[in-house]
Structure formats: structure tokens, C-alpha cells
Structure 1
Amino acid sequence: MHLDEWGLGGRSFGTWITWFLIGGDIYTAYTFVAVPALVFGAGAAGFFAVPYTVVVYPLIFLVVIRLWSVSHVRGFVTPADFVRSRFDSPTMALLVAITGIVATMPYIALQLVGIEAVLKTMGVTGELPIIVAFVILAVYTYNSGLRAPALIAFVKDVLIYLTIIVAVIVIPTKLGGWDVVFGAAEEKFDVAGTGSVLLPGTGQLQYATLALGSALALFLYPHSITGVLASKSRDTLKKNMSLLPIYSLALGFIALLGYMAIAAGTTPVDGDGNTIVPALFQQMFPSWFAGVAFAAIGIGALVPAAIMSIAAANLFTRNIYKEYLKKDATPGQEAKVAKLASLVVKFGAVAAIVFIDPQFSIDLQLIGGVIILQTLPAVAIGLYTRWFHRSALVAGWCAGMAIGFLMLYSVQRVGPDGTVVKEHFGGSAFSLGKLGLDTTTTVYAGFLAVLANLLVVVLVTLVLRAIKVDDGVDGTADTDYTAEREDPSVRDLPDPLDGPGPAGGAGEASPPSVGDPAARR
């Protein structure tokens, strides 16, 4: 009956549930299907996900606790709520909301691809796998909200850890040892002429920028922020940022499944590279354990997809519906709209699969990363400074988004024989040669796009401050960013039966500055 309950689980999750929730949120079908598929097809380049998940937690340690504090003091449900209040900019808040929704769709699509890969391996063919995946996800999230994936994330992690521990012991033993596994991979890439077990010199900048760019993007995604805001305290988040790197160890082993599949001679189902891990499990394990592994992959896709659709629905409800369509919406109406919006987002995810048709399913996540990175100046940096002018943030977003899409549009997909098999949106590796440089080196498109974004933001801010253009009023206070749960400024949840409540009062249902500038304290 209340968006804080449906969309944030009552903001009451402790250390263990938060660990499983954020872990289930971050380590998705991207981890269990897309990363090994990339390693299987491209070799060492696929291991970028390991350093990416190592550096991400120190990078965002001090960011997420500030976001938690200000959100719990001011009643923010989404990052766009924060931007609306911090920069007094409904326009930038709307852009952050739209960006979050659009960037989440290809990420949800990646989860659907993971479920589809399992069903294909089980023999379900045609369009039925993706339809079944969509229906399961839609039914799963509509009524239960965030509490359902938070609870089932425990089951998911137990199954995943069990599967990986068994896989890294049993499969290499059956194949003759790790030297056989790596030797087979090296031989395959030498014969194919593409990929390598060692990163080539021309791919090192791409690898580094991809790892850093992905790390910067991860906690800008609405679903990651949803997991953060659902935590009950700053200490809960501090503990989780310290504990979550345990997942990174498992990720390294999961990536090696790509090499194991090469050594085992595993072939993708119907030529679909995304099925390589399910096919490997089916080949190497008895049917009963293959079923356990399939369940692990399926739930590993279902949990994050549910959280992602909930997060996107929160953005639509708070920052589009309530801000522009029905300012006096009650908590119950917000929750109902969010449920419906979560279904629409899933349709968008299916469309992303149909229209993007990526070479590797991981490209769905990387393309989403290019998009969500453009909110970095307003959301992440905005938590520490308000120096950026609100109009400059809009200009930077427009520049970064335009440059990012132009670069993605120009990326071709090239087949093993060197022919172009997809003219546009063939990946996220942008060649610096297209900028007139005499090099074949590539970089992550999102990294260049966010640099252009920041450059525009800084330059336009200098100009607007020089000519003294009004920059609005900050709807937050310095003390908001360090508030602990025990502080009197941290509000309790309102009773959904009481209606919106008085502006600025205790138990207020909406942020003080969302939709009502006069309500700022």
C-alpha cells in the first residue's frame, strides 16, 4: 500500500539480507551467462569483470552512505528525487529518471537472455523461451515488490556457490587438469585468429577503461541504488561494502567456465553463445545436478531482473507520474502505478533483445552502462558538491548522451573471417582511429562519453557562474549527508492510510522538494 514498502522493502533490511539483496542485484545473468560466454568467444578480454568488481567497492564506499543518509532524512526513493532537491532542477531530475529507465531495459533484457539460455538447453525452442521468461518475471514481481527478490536471493546464492564449487573441482579433474583447460583455450584462439588467453597490447586500454567505466556505472543504476536505500542503516552499508568483494572471488571462477567449455568441446545450442554454460553443465554433470545448476542460473537471472524492474518503476512513479501527471497522488496510488510500470519496463526489455541483437549478451549491459554513466556528475559527484550549475548538468548530459550514442552507432560487428556482419551497435569498443588517430586501439565508449559530459559541465558552469545565472536553491543541508539512523532528522515511514501528510512534516509521504519547491525546509 506504500511505495516505500513495495519498492524499498520498508527500508528495513539488515546486514545479511542486504548482502544477499545487493549481491543478487549485482551478480546477475551477466555474471553466470554473459561473462563466461565472452571468455569462451574472446578469451582474456572477458576477465575485465574481475578487476571491475574489485575496484567498485572502494570507489563507492563513501558515496552510498551519503546517499543513504540524505535519502532517509528527506524521504527520497530514487536518485532523481535527490537531483530534483539538490540542484533545484525538475529538468535534470526528469533526465535522470528517463536515463535510469532506458539504461535498465537492456540490463533486464540480459536477465531474460539468461533464462532463455537455460530453457533452450533444456530443449524448449522457438520464441517460447523468451515468452516464458517474460511471464515468470512479470508474475514474480507484480505483487510482492522488493521483499520477494530479497528473500529468494538467499536461495539463489546458495545454489550458485554450490554449483561453482562443484564445477571448479569436478570439471577440470574430468578434463585432465587446469593445464589442459588453458592449453585447449590457447590452441582454439590460435587457430581461430581471434581472441587470446593473454590480452594483446591494442586491447589493454579497452580493458582498463571498460573495467573502470563499468565500476563507475554500477552503483548509478537504479536497481543498485534501490538495494542501498532498502538498507536499515549506514553501518549496514559499510559492512556490505567490505563483505561484497567475496563475490568477486566467485566471479573469477565463473569466468573460467568459458575456458572449461573450450576444453570440453562444448558447442552452443543452435549456435547461441549464451547457452555455453548451461550446455557445459548438461555435458559434464548427471542430469539431477545439471538441474540444480540450471535452477541456479535461472534464479540468478530472476532475482536481479525483478529488482531492476522495481527500480525503474519507482523512477517512473516518483519522477514522472507524481511530478508531472498527478502531484497529489496518495501512497496507495503510487504503489499501484509502480506495479503497472514494472510490467511496461519488461516489455521494453524484450524489445531491447529484438532490436539490439548483440553478438555477446554482455553487450546489453555495456550499452546500458554507456547510458547510465551520463548521470555521474549529477548523482555521484552531486553528493559531494553543488558547484556544478544545474543548466550545465543538463548540457553535459545532452553532450555525453549524443556522443555515446554516436560512438555505439559506429561500432561494427565483425565476423571471424573479417567481414562486417552488423553495421551498427555491434558492441561498446570504440576505435580511436575513428577520431583521426593513427592507431587500432579501442576504448570503452561510455568512458569517452562521460569525459565529454564532465568537460561540458565544467565549461558551461564556469560561463554561467561568470554571468551570474540563477542556480536555484539547495533543498538539502550539509548535516543530511552524515545523518545516522538514530538522528531525529531521519524520518520513519508514514502510514499509507494517512494520505500524503503535511508538507515538510514528520511522516511525510513524498520528498520535501519533489513537486513542491515551497515545501523545502
Structure 2
Amino acid sequence: MTTEIVVFAVLFLIVSGMGFVASRWRRPDDIASLHEWGLGGRNFGTWITWFLVGGDLYTAYTFVAVPALLFGAGATGFFAVPYTVIVYPLVMLVLIRLWSVSHVHGLVTPADFVRARFGSPTLALLVAITGIVATMPYIALQLVGIEAVLKTMGVTGDLPIIIAFAILAAYTYQSGLRAPALIAFVKDSLIYVVILVAIIYIPTQLGGWESIFGAAQAKFEATPAPTDGILLNANNQLQYVTLALGSALALFLYPHSVTGVLASKNRNVIKRNMSALPAYSVLLGLIALLGYMAIAAGVKPIGTDVNTVVPQLFERMFPDWFAGVAFAAVGIGALVPAAIMSIAAANLFTRNIYREYIKRDATDAQEAAASKIASLVVKVGAVLCILLIDPQFSIDLQLIGGVIILQTLPSVALGLFTRWFHRAGLIAGWVAGMTAGMVMLYNIANPATKHAHFGGSAFSLEKLGLDTKMTIYAGFLALIVNLVVAVLGTIIARSAKVADGPDATSETDYTADEGDPRVRDLEVTSST
């Protein structure tokens, strides 16, 4: 146990040191602007972007929660694999258009784009608030990974988590996006090494893959549930498909995903990364199988925290020194996405609340200062989430976050391709979709965690009066409601000749590339 703690602490401190050194890595003459502090100078090449975006999307939560879901429910947990397979070709064309228009106008956030495209500060404010609210529990969930590791090593209490996030806050404040970009190299390398060793070594100690899958099947047959098992069934297939598709649509709507993409130096960097990032899906599939290995190894959760099964598997199967390396991989895997998420949420506050409503004439330096302070506030909020809320419930909040962020799809993703939607219709659609999503989530219970409300994202079709046991992803239904209302609202607004906002972009802005002479700053207008 002592060896594990020492190895974990040493690697954690080395990476933290890299976070502080990152302030001098590729440093410009002046870092006091959101383009430098919040987007790393918009000059990251293919390799840096690969590690940054990959490190951003594949988090500590993924490392412990995906296999934990397989441990508890079986095949349903594999939804994460197909959604990461389809997401990259799905979003490639969207992201290069967003990068181009943001490059031309100096946009920093998705809400910046909505403000420019639809000429509506109100709609931009809704998108900004949605992004912040959806991101907060996601940051808190990174603590779940660290907490699971600490529990396994016998370290209890809240102080270690507070110290870890205090260090994270300090080097993020100093270095901005350069810190997680540099640390991501170490984080991804550690995770690849740990997973490849685990996937090769652990099965040899458990009697091979036939024994592992046999143990998993025996467990689910002994405790049958309508949606559990090593194969999907009629009750959970629709949920699986809609959850995979909905998660794919949501992934790059999160502001931290957009931040990693906007930091790229040109369109080709994005194209190469969207083509290569599916390689991470292979790793994710291997990570998921750790859940079945934990079943075969006879691992039991610590208390009711099923997220501890993977750290316990590592502790049981690996020598102490390598278990420490594995625990460090999980802990460091929390730092990279938490840093990017807090920066992205802070940028939303600064550009779309502070600059729009508090100080419209803010200088670049004032924006950077405001964003630094906001990033600290976001981290404090994330720590409070995990300290004050049952960790099992906080995991449910991640599913809620996906339902929330999906409601920005019509204005952000579709807005990149069409100006047909009226801003009034988009606002009405957002309100309807968000309301529908919250009502459905409120009516989802989770008997396993004893939560009568907000117990997950699998909405029973029985609640709609249908004679079936099938469930569907609540975010998918909420998005349909959003789109229908947005279309009807647009038709009504245009029929009534309601004034629409000005479009500050042009068609050629969406194909601009590095070095384009049309690059210019977007002026903030007073339209409503």
C-alpha cells in the first residue's frame, strides 16, 4: 500500500510541475488574452491537438465508469464504443466550419458563434448558460476517478481531493490551455501502457477470455434484470441505439470539446485528428472489458461505490509498484479534462456574460483576467459538488449533462449550415426541449441507488402510454421536441414578420483557412 501511494504521489507531482512549466512552453510575448490563455495561441499542430482532444474526451470518468457500467449492467455499457466510432466522421464537417468562422471573426466559444450568426445576445446567453451548467458536473466527475483511487489505496477524507484540485487550479490559472496540452502527452502515454498491460496480463491470471466472459454471464444469469446481461435484449436495444447516437451528437457540443478544436492552427489539423481519433475507440473497448475482468476476479465495490472496481482490480492483479502507476494514470487522467473544462466554462462566462452584459469595452487583458478568476470559481464549484452530493448521484448528473447540452444542437451545429431558423424559434425550441428533458429526467427512478428522480437517462416508453417495457434516451426525445418547436416557431415568426437578428458571417467565412486575409475581430452590436 505504501509503495502504491509513493508512486502515485511522485507521478502526480511530476505532472503538476509540468503544468507550471507549461506557462513558458510556446509562450508568446503577451499571454494576457483569451486567444493565448484560453486557446493556446490557436497554433496547436496535429500531434498536440491529438493528445489535447483525446485527453479531453477520454477522462478519468471513462477509465472507471465505463467498465463499472459493464460490471453492473453488462452489454449496455458498450454504448460508449459505437458512439465514439460514429462521432468523428459525424462532426468532422461541422468542426472545420466552426473552426473557420471562429478563425475569421476571432470567436472563442460556441455562444460567440451563435451571437454572430443569429444576432441574438439572448440566444447566445442561453447557449452559454447551458454550456456552463452541463460542464460543471462533468468537472466534478473527474474527482470520482481520483476518489475511487484514493479509496482503494486506503486514503480517506476530503483533504487529498481539495489539495489535488488546488494544485490544478494554480497551474491552470498560470498556464491556461498550455498546461493540459503539455500534460496530455504523459496522461495518454500512461493510460495506453496500463491498459495494454492489463488486457494482456490479467486474462492470463484469470483463465483466459472464455473464463472471463463465462463468469460475467453466470453473474447476470444469477441476478436477472430486464436490461442486464452480456447481450442486448428487446428491452434495452432502443435505449442503446439512441444513447449512442445522442451521446455522439452531444460530445462536440460541450464547450471543452470546442475549445480543443479551436486551438488547432488550421483545417487540416482538424481533418487529420478526426480521421485518427477513432483509434482511441479501440482503447475504450479494451477499457470497457476491465468490468468483466473485475467480475471474474471476484472484485467487490467498496461500500456502494461501483466506480472502485477497476482500481481494486488493479490492486489485486498487479504488483504494488505497477498498481501505483495505474492509479496515477487514473488521477492524471482527471487533471487534463478538468483543466480544459474549467477553461472552457470560464471562457463562456467571460465572452458571453462578462463582456456582453457587464463590461462591453473590456480589453484583451481584462478578459483574460476575468476568465482566470472564473476558472477558479468553476473548480471550487466542482469540488463542492463532489463534497456535498452523493458520488453515485453525481454520476447520474453526467447523463443529465448530455440531455442539457443537446439542446444547443439546433443553434450551434445546424446554425453552421443554415440560417433558415429564426432566433425566436430557436429560443422557443430551447425552452421546450429543456423543459421536456427535465420533466423526463425527473420521472426516471434508479432503484439501485434509491433515487426516485433524476436516476439516469433511460426513459420508459410506458410513461408515454405505450404498452412496452422498452426505454429510450431522454436526451433524444428532448432534442426531437426542441427541433419540432424550433421549426414551428420559425414558421410562425416569419409569417408574423417578426424581425430577425443580423447575420455577421458570410458563406466564405466557413471555408477560411490559416493565413486567410479576411481574418478580423467581430464587433459587438447592440441588437437584441
Please report the TM-score for the alignment, with normalisation by the length of structure 2: 0.91
Once the two structures are TM-superposed, the CA of residue 222 in structure 1 deviates from its matched residue by: 0.2
Provide the secondary structure at the position in 2 that maps to 1:161: helix
Question: Any residues of structure 2 matched to 1:389-404 within 5 Å, and which?
Answer: 389-404=422-437
- Partners of 2:121 and 2:527 within 8 A in 1: no
- Percent identity over the alignment is 73
1:210 aligns with 2:239: no
How far apart are the structure 2 equivalents of 1:352 and 1:428? 20
Q: Deviations over 1:53-92 (max 9, x none)?
A: 0000111010000000000001100010110010010000
1:411 aligns with 2:444: yes
Question: Any residues of structure 2 matched to 1:505-516 within 5 Å, and which?
Answer: 508=521, 511-512=522-523, 514-515=524-525
CA gap of 1:428–1:275, structure 2 versus 1, over 3 A, is same
Once the two structures are TM-superposed, the CA of residue 29 in structure 1 deviates from its matched residue by: 1.6
Q: Structure 1: give runs of 5+ residues left out of the alignment.
A: 492-507
How far apart are the structure 2 equivalents of 1:364 and 1:463? 35
1:326 aligns with 2:355: no
Q: Deviations over 1:99-139 (max 9, x none)?
A: 00000011111111111111111111133354334323322
Question: Any residues of structure 2 matched to 1:76-475 within 5 Å, and which?
Answer: 76-194=107-225, 195-353=228-386, 357=390, 359=392, 362-415=395-448, 421-475=450-504
Once the two structures are TM-superposed, the CA of residue 307 in structure 1 deviates from its matched residue by: 0.2
CA gap of 1:347–1:406, structure 2 versus 1, over 3 A, is farther
How far apart are the structure 1 equivalents of 2:53 and 2:143? 19
How far apart are the structure 2 equivalents of 1:69 and 1:473? 19
Please report the TM-score for the alignment, with normalisation by the length of structure 1: 0.92
Provide the secondary structure at the position in 1 that maps to 2:472: strand
Q: Deviations over 1:381-440 (max 9, x none)?
A: 00000100001111000011111111111111113xxxx821111111111111111111
Provide the secondary structure at the position in 1 that maps to 2:299: coil
Provide the secondary structure at the position in 2 that maps to 1:92: helix
Provide the secondary structure at the position in 1 that maps to 2:468: coil
How far apart are the structure 1 equivalents of 2:164 and 2:402? 23
How far apart are the structure 1 equivalents of 2:164 and 2:479? 33
- Partners of 2:407 and 2:430 within 8 A in 1: yes
Once the two structures are TM-superposed, the CA of residue 271 in structure 1 deviates from its matched residue by: 3.1
Partner of 2:41: 10
How far apart are the structure 1 equivalents of 2:216 and 2:525? 57
Q: Deviations over 1:32-57 (max 9, x none)?
A: 01101111111110000000000001
Q: Deviations over 1:269-300 (max 9, x none)?
A: 23311111111111100011111111111111
* RMSD value, Cα: 1.5
Provide the secondary structure at the position in 2 that maps to 1:271: coil
Aligned residues: 495
Provide the secondary structure at the position in 1 that maps to 2:289: helix
Q: Deviations over 1:500-521 (max 9, x none)?
A: xxxxxxxx4xx32x35569xxx
How far apart are the structure 1 equivalents of 2:248 and 2:70? 19
How far apart are the structure 1 equivalents of 2:381 and 2:221? 40
Once the two structures are TM-superposed, the CA of residue 473 in structure 1 deviates from its matched residue by: 1.1
Choose from 503, 508, 527 the match for 1:479.
508
Residue identity in the other structure for 1:431:
S
- Partners of 1:358 and 1:427 within 8 A in 2: no
Residue identity in the other structure for 1:174:
Q
Q: Which stretch of the first structure deviates more once superposed, 334-343 or 225-234?
A: 334-343
Provide the secondary structure at the position in 2 that maps to 1:430: strand
Once the two structures are TM-superposed, the CA of residue 453 in structure 1 deviates from its matched residue by: 0.3
Q: Which stretch of the first structure deviates more once superposed, 188-197 or 135-144?
A: 135-144
Once the two structures are TM-superposed, the CA of residue 441 in structure 1 deviates from its matched residue by: 0.8
